[in-house]
Amino acid sequence: MRLDIVTIFPEYLEPLNVSLVGKARARGLLDVRVHDLRRWTHDRHNTVDDTPYGGGPGMVMKPEPWGEALDEIIASGEGDPVLVVPTPSGRPFDQATAVELAEKPWLVFTPARYEGIDRRVIDEYGERLQVRELSIGDYVLAGGEAPVLVMVEAVARLLPGVLGNAESHRDDSFAPGAMADLLEGPVYTKPPLWRGRDVPEVLLSGHHGRIARWRRDEAFRRTARYRPDLIERCDPAALDADDRKL
Ligand code: ADE
């Protein structure tokens, strides 16, 4: 998979050299290219922003550098990328979106600073490409770079060969399947006794049916506590079917 990221803070994307994503790049599973938007400016001050039409606070990113950057990047590859525009006014980015994006061969991210990018840029490329305007949550960050880090990691770990254990995202919170729509419950490792605290006895029992049932109950408890909205979305028939498997 190829990822292009256009930003005025290329150094903000340095974490993409580390850990899971860094390893995936080193192994050739991910081709990540970070571009400095100011490369496509032509004035002495490398200006990327200007005051908003209609007035109001803050600055808006000018369309010309984005247009030149995106034209050049799009022309540099085969086929069309999907354009991912991080914005607090986008659709919520969730696990289903990550799964969908992980199936695409090429994503171009346009993290903005200030009050965002001149709307005409998104409209222009929306006529030629698939464009996803995505928010990582109901809060406002100073720019789209941190959301890009979030989305790239969520997507990269779904790519074949990236996770050490191919099974390890099967039971994730939000993963489709048996525990769909439930949060993951607690996990434990050795030693069995730490500062007077035991590991729940069932986990040491070796009884797979009882362990699966316990995990499901814990997932329910946690979800009811922190995300009751998710319980309401559960399909009772799917839960009953799960129950019969336990
Ligand atoms: N840019 C600023 N805040 C954001 C958010 N919550 N999601 C995506 N992009 C953003």
Q: 135: which strand partners?
A: 92
Are 83 and 108 within 8 A, CB to CB? yes
Provide the domain count of the chain.
2
Q: Is the peptide bond before 191 cis (omega within 30 degrees of 0)?
A: yes
Q: How far apart are CA 197 and CA 194, in angstroms?
A: 5
Ligand 1 in contact with 81 (CB < 6 A)? no
Q: 4: which strand partners?
A: 33, 108
| Cα separation values, 110 from 43, 131, 225, 234, Å | 21, 11, 36, 35
Ligand 1 in contact with 141 (CB < 6 A)? yes
At 109 the pLDDT is 99
Which pLDDT tens digit goes with each residue over 147-159? Answer: 999 999 999 999 9
Q: 83: which strand partners?
A: 108, 131
If one counts every other C-beta atom within 10 angstroms of the C-beta of residue 159, the result is 14
The residues annotated as belonging to the active site are 88, 115, 157, 172
At 245 the pLDDT is 74
Pair of tokens at residue 132: 């996803």
Pair of tokens at residue 69: 């950057």
At 175 the pLDDT is 66
Pair 97, 12 in one domain = yes
- Domain residues for the domain of 203 are 171-246
At 165 the pLDDT is 66
Q: Which of 156, 188, 209 is the last residue of a domain?
A: 156
For a substitution probing ligand 1, which of 8, 110, 141, 149 has the most ligand atoms within 8 Å of its CB? 141
For a substitution probing ligand 1, which of 133, 135, 148, 150 has the most ligand atoms within 8 Å of its CB? 135
Pair 16, 90 in one domain = yes
* Ligand 1: residue whose CA is nearest its atom 5: 88
pTM above 0.95, yes or no: no
Q: Which residue ranges in the chain fall short of pLDDT 70?
A: 165-168, 170-171, 175-180
Asked if residue 165 is part of any domain, the answer here is no
Q: How far apart are CA 184 and CA 48, in angstroms?
A: 43
At 213 the pLDDT is 96
At 171 the pLDDT is 57
Pair 54, 118 in one domain = yes
Known binder of ligand: residue 138?
yes
- Can you give the CATH number for the domain in which 182 is found? 1.10.1270.20
Residue with tokens 């699966």: 212
At 235 the pLDDT is 82
Asked if residue 162 is part of any domain, the answer here is no
Which pLDDT tens digit goes with each residue over 192-215? Answer: 999 999 999 999 999 999 999 999
Q: Name the nearest CA neighbour of 84 among 102, 68, 72.
A: 102
Q: Name the nearest CA neighbour of 156 among 7, 17, 6.
A: 17
Ligand 1 in contact with 187 (CB < 6 A)? no
